[in-house]
Amino acid sequence: MSTARERILEATEELLATKDALAISTRAICDRAKVGMPEIYRQFGDKQGLLTAVADIGFERFLAAKRRNPLTDDPVADLRTAWDSHVAFALRNPYLYRLMFTPTGDAKPQAIKEAQAILLKAVERCRDAGRLRTTPELAGRSILSANVGVCMMALSFPDLFGDSEISTAVRDAVIGQVTGDEREDTRIGTATVLAQALVGTLTGTAPVSVAAALDRLTGAPRPPAGTSEP
């Protein structure tokens, strides 16, 4: 027989399948779990403690999927596979994913560090193969930041950023920039240009800044240095 804690966690996960964490009331959780309101505070301290526990469960599943990603003789191709599996998880679990990667309050899911560690190992394989332009630590942080950003935009603005080609374009731009494995891509557009500028700024290898990339996309010239816009 499940414990009160297990029922509360299960009820919260079930409600997260259809709505954002902020829209879920503790009353709805208790009703679904068939427990009294004080039980949440007894088990988790408060609602935020409960949501952090649910986010940790989400990370367990997320990391389990990461560990199942196959390894091939091409470490850069494996980075692309890892990116795609990350996006697939986000699209399957939109509200849980938001809870995992946009935590509120002081309590933060600790599993993000393991996610970074797994990615770092993948990037180190690229370094060992002579296919890395920057440090593994910076490359890993750049890739994870861009990966999460693509997912958040796809979930928040599906009509504008939900197209799978955007994820692929940004993936190839970011991974190509840090590994030197750029691909010629006829789909280069807003997302790709900004991703290249962002990663280049982080790594110190970009010929243009993010601001300059925006101007390039919009066709708006920037005022000379030392002047201000009217």
What is the pTM for the complete model shown?
Answer: 0.77
Share of the chain above pLDDT 90, in %: 66
Which carries the bigger pLDDT value, residue 25 or residue 222? Answer: 25
Mean pLDDT of 135-157: 94
Q: How many CB atoms lie within 10 A of CB 5?
A: 17
Most confident by average pLDDT, 105-114, 120-129, 153-162: 120-129
Where b means 16+ CB within 10 Å and e means fewer, 173-205 reads bbbbbbbebeeeeeeeebbbbbbbbbbbbbbee
Token digits of residue 128: 């060992």
Give me the helices (H) in 157-223, please.
158-161, 164-179, 190-203, 210-218
State pLDDT tens for residues 69-124. 989 999 999 999 999 999 999 999 999 999 999 877 676 777 888 899 999 999 99
Look at residue 4 in the predicted model and tell me its pLDDT.
94
| Section 139-156 average pLDDT | 93
28 has a pLDDT exceeding 50: yes
Question: What pLDDT is stored for residue 226 in this prediction?
Answer: 47
The model's pLDDT over 38-62, given as tens digits with 9 standing for 90+, comes to 999 999 999 999 999 999 999 999 9
Predicted pLDDT at 192: 53
pLDDT in tens, 198-223: 545 544 554 555 455 545 544 555 45
Q: Residue 227 gets which letter from DSSP?
A: -
Position 225 confidence tier, pLDDT thresholds 50, 70, 90: very low
Task: Please name which of 84, 11, 115, 116 lies closest in space to residue 53, comparing C-alpha atoms.
Answer: 11
CB 122 within 8 A of CB 82: yes
Closest-CA residue to 86 (of 66, 59, 108): 66
